[in-house]
Every structure is written in structure tokens, then in C-alpha cells.
DNA sequence: GACATTTCCGATGGGTTTAGTCAGCTTACA
DNA sequence: TGTAAGCTGACTAAACCCATCGGAAATGTC
């Protein structure tokens, strides 16, 4: 049982936004430089995150992405669900229709449903604010984007 | 985030063994009939379970599989680990070596390591005995294998 | 208005994993 | 010795993952 790269990249990127941008917006290029993520791939990831309402975007020069909520309101679970769908331990089998009738299968179904929501609970227990605190504890330096200065 | 069919089939099969065979042995054919699992596929699953020491096997006529431990000593997590490897949320990336140097990545790594062991904890909290109790509560009937009777 | 920059969208391709099948071998009971 | 089971390894079709690409749309700057 593992996470896809999309999920990891997503969490890294949102954390990056929370930690380095601090409410302002950042661009894909900069996030990828800091987090070592392929830029064209992160583009896709951000599309999903935008559709899920986790970030807002602005096009054009000096555009970029911005958190839609405060870091303590964004949970790891929100990101994972946006990128990989709900945690659902039951595989959507092909000839599972026949099995669904058997009450024997229902026991497994009940158990896995309970486990799924427990696991979601684990993921929802960690927020971006938590990750920022941990980063501070590690001594990680914030690199806020330079304030824009008009050319002379 | 989802489970593979192998994991579900494995849990179903071990539960079936605990519930219907009750310490005795059962054959693939019978388990598959009760649980609606492709027989040749369950064969593979049982090989992994045997190598992990969760079941023992006996070949030849009137052979079959048998639990290696009491149902309250077999946890869902044991089965999942045997069939899908340890829960490890971090994808084993290709160019992740470069990223590992960045302490930014280390934050994500720490968080996911913690989450992984929490999730294992969820899976280890449910035993086969628990599933049997639940099945009893659902009114599921046990179908023990008929005691062998010598032909006249 | 022209241009540069950045996000947005859809398609594509290589590689890996999954789910299931198959043929043939080994073991062991009767 | 025949037959019923498990054991082993190879195989395949489909799905999925991880990007990468070309171009379109929006928007700030000159």
C-alpha cells in the first residue's frame, strides 16, 4: 500500500506554498526548484488541486498559485483525496457483483469500510500548519518571494 | 489510495478459514465457492501467505490449507503486509536521490513515515477473531467441512 | 496594440503493475 | 498405481502511473 508520486508532490507543493509563500502566491517554476519536482507534472497536479478548491490561480505574468485557506485548515487528507480520490480499500472488482450477495463478503466489506475511515482520520490529523512547525523545528529557512520592485 | 484485489482476497480467504474451518483445513475450491474468488488466483495468494507463515499447507488428496495461528493472533495487517509489502506511503522515486538532500523533502518524509506507522496500527487493530464475531453478529452460518467418512 | 509570461487543456507514449490464466511438476493418500 | 490436491514459473491483456509535449487562453508590461 503506497502513495503515488502525485500525492507526494501535491503535499510537498502545498507545504511549500504554506511555508515559503506565506499567504502570497508562488509560481510553479519556483516551487519545482525548491522541491525537485518535474514542472510539467506539477502543472497537472495543481489543476486537480485548483478544481478541488485547495488553491486559487492567477494567469499571466506575475501570476501563480495561492492557498485558498489558512495552513491550519488544509489537511494532508484533503490533498490526497483531491489527487487520488477517496480512500477506498475495497477494489471495484468486475465479477464482484456476484460476491456482494454473499453475506460472507459483507463482513470483509464492513471491516474495510471501517478501516478506510480510520485511515482517513490519520491523514486528516496532520495539517499544513503542523508541517510548517516541524520545518521550523528542523531549522528550515523560509525563502519568501522577493517583493516586486518596479524597474527604474 | 486503494487495496489490490490480492489483499482483499487474502483477508477474505483467511477469514473464511477462521470462520468455516475452525482450526481444521480447507481446500481452495471450497473457499473460492464461498467467497467468489478465481481459484487459480487464490492459489497464488496462498503461496504468499504460506511463505509468510500465516497458513500451513498439506498436499495430496484431502490436503488443503490451515491457519498457522489462532484467529485472535492473525491481524489484517499481517495479511496485507504478506501480500503487498509493508505500508510505505513514500513512492520509491527515480530521481528522488537529489531531493533527499533537500531538508524540505525531509519534512514530507518524516510526516509520511509517521502516517505509515499509524496506518499499520489501524490494520493491526483488527484480528480474524474480530471478523468472526462480526460475522456471528450478522447471523452468518458456519459451514464446517463434513467429517471424512470412509466409503463402505 | 505588441509582446512576454504564466496558467490551462488535451493528447500521447513508455514503463510498470495488476489480475488472471495456463501447463506441467511434486507430494501423498488409498 | 491412480488420482487429488498443492507448487512453480511463465505468460498475457488491460489498466495505471509518470511524465512530456504542443498549443490555447489569459493578463500584466511596454
- Cα B80 to Cα A24: distance, rounded to the nearest angstrom: 43
A50-95: pLDDT as tens digits: 999 999 999 999 999 999 999 999 999 999 999 999 998 876 654 5
- Cα B73 to Cα A72: distance, rounded to the nearest angstrom: 40
B9-54: pLDDT as tens digits: 999 999 999 999 999 999 999 999 999 999 999 999 999 999 999 9
CATH class of B5-87+127-137: mainly alpha
* Secondary structure tally for chain A: helices H, strands E: 7, 2
| Minimal-distance CA residue of chain A relative to B90 | A3
Read off the pLDDT of each residue in B82-90 and give the average, rounded to a whole number.
Answer: 92
Q: Distance (Å) from the C-alpha of residue A151 to the closest C-alpha of chain B?
A: 32
Smallest CA–C1' separation from B47, nucleotide: D7
Residue pair B13/B83 in contact by the 8 Å Cβ criterion: no
Please judge whether A2 and B88 are an interchain contact, meaning their C-beta atoms are less than 8 angstroms apart.
yes
Angle at B34 between CA B28 and CA B35, to 5 degrees: 85
- Cα B60 to Cα B118: distance, rounded to the nearest angstrom: 42
Interface mutation target, options A101, A108, A139, chain B, most CBs of B under 10 Å: A108
**Which residues of B fall within a CB distance of 8 Å from A89?**
2-3, 7-8
C-alpha torsion B114→A121→A82→A107, nearest 10: 110
Q: Which residues does B56 contact at the CB level (< 8 Å), separation at least 6?
A: B50, B65, B66, B67, B68
Residues with CB under 7 A from strand C: A 27-29, 43-44, 46-47, 50, 57-65, 91, 93-95; B 4-6, 38-41, 43-44, 58-63, 84, 148
Higher local confidence (pLDDT), B92 or B87: B87
B95-139: pLDDT as tens digits: 555 555 566 788 999 999 999 999 999 999 999 999 999 999 999
Q: In this structure, is the CB of residue B15 within 7 Å of any atom belonging to strand D?
A: no
Residue B94 clears pLDDT 50, i.e. is over it:
no
HSE of A57, CA atoms in CB hemisphere, 13 A:
14
Any bridge partners for residue A55, and if so which? A67
CB burial of residue B57 (10 Å; 0-12, 13-18, 19+): middle
Interface mutation target, options B104, B114, B119, B125, chain A, most CBs of A under 10 Å: B104
Please judge whether A91 and B5 are an interchain contact, meaning their C-beta atoms are less than 8 angstroms apart.
yes
Question: Nearest-CA neighbor of B12 among A100, A35, A119?
Answer: A100
CB burial of residue A148 (10 Å; 0-12, 13-18, 19+): exposed
State how far the alpha carbon of A85 is from the alpha carbons of A96, A104, A115, B1, B22, in Å: 20, 27, 16, 7, 38
State how far the alpha carbon of B73 is from the alpha carbons of A123, A144, B47, B58, B68, in Å: 27, 52, 20, 21, 10
Q: In this structure, is the CB of residue B146 within 7 Å of any atom belonging to strand D?
A: no
| Minimal-distance CA residue of chain B relative to A85 | B1
Q: What is the CA radius of gyration of chain A?
A: 19
- Cα A127 to Cα A17: distance, rounded to the nearest angstrom: 13
Amino acid at each position: 500500500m503506497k502513495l503515488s508520486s502525485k500525492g507526494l508532490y501535491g503535499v510537498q507543493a502545498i507545504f511549500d506554498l504554506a511555508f515559503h509563500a506565506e499567504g502570497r502566491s508562488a509560481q510553479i517554476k519556483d516551487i519545482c526548484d525548491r522541491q525537485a519536482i518535474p514542472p510539467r507534472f506539477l502543472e497537472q497536479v495543481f489543476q486537480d488541486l485548483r478544481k478541488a478548491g485547495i488553491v486559487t490561480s492567477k494567469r499571466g505574468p506575475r501570476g501563480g498559485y495561492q492557498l485558498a485557506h489558512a495552513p491550519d485548515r488544509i489537511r494532508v487528507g484533503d490533498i490526497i483525496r483531491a489527487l487520488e480520490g477517496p480512500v477506498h480499500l475495497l477494489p471495484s472488482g468486475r465479477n464482484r457483483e456476484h460476491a456482494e450477495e454473499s453475506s460472507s463478503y459483507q463482513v470483509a466489506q464492513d471491516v474495510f469500510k471501517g478501516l478506510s475511515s480510520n485511515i482517513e482520520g490519520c491523514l486528516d490529523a496532520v495539517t499544513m500548519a503542523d508541517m510548517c512547525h516541524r520545518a521550523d523545528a528542523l531549522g528550515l529557512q523560509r525563502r519568501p518571494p522577493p517583493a516586486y520592485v518596479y524597474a527604474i
